[in-house]
Amino acid sequence: MKLNVKIKLLSDTVFGSGVSVPGGEDISIIKDENGFPYFKGSTFKGILREECTNYIEWTNKDGTLIDILFGKSGMQDENDISSDLTTAKLKFSDFEISENVKTVILNQKIQGRVVNEVDILDAFTGLRTFTGLRTFTSIDEEGIAKEGSLRSCRCIKEGLIFNGYVELDERYKDLIVDSLKCIKWIGSMKTRGFGKVKIFV
């Protein structure tokens, strides 16, 4: 079965892409070819795996379910077919802005021209109003900013909703729904207050 999942951002959030923009942000967000931010299903899988592991421990359920549902983690023996990640019972889509919203935005015009990737990315991160780019610095023992430690990151606006799904065997639906509800934070910079979310299933 396919379980539809919505992620609502309750705070500004950083879906880090792992790359920086020279002369721009040190932490850039992951986006598609049109500039729409999205969250990788493989990353979400890791977050859900952690929450599901905790939930199983708290409720004294069978711990072997984790490897059955998510596949075995860590280094694998290439000759051990049972450890192949493709045997995992859960399949994840990426989490994206709704297709209807994308269509409306792509059909917009700014001063007579069609919107481009930069326009779209700026719209979802508020960069043109300077709210989407955050700066940070490290502080030494004396409370003084460390030289050369200034960093910046782009963040996605609070309030946005990202849609995706999890494919699973219906036998595991209750466990996965309960584990999904345990997810409260996603993305990068969570210790700085970014990435608070509410999951809807």
Measure the CA–CA gap between 51 and 165, rounded to whole angstroms: 17
pLDDT, tens digit (0-9, with 9 covering 90-100), for 91-108: 999 999 999 999 999 988
Measure the CA–CA gap between 98 and 104, rounded to whole angstroms: 10
Beta bridge partners of 92: 166
- The predicted model scores a pTM of 0.80
- The domain tally of the chain equals 1
- Whether residue 6 is predicted with pLDDT greater than 60 in this model: the reply is yes
Average pLDDT for 70-79: 62
Quick one: what percent of the chain has pLDDT higher than 90?
Answer: 47
Average pLDDT for 137-157: 71
CB 98 within 8 A of CB 163: yes
Full residue range of the structural domain in which residue 88 is found = 2-200
CB 36 within 8 A of CB 123: no
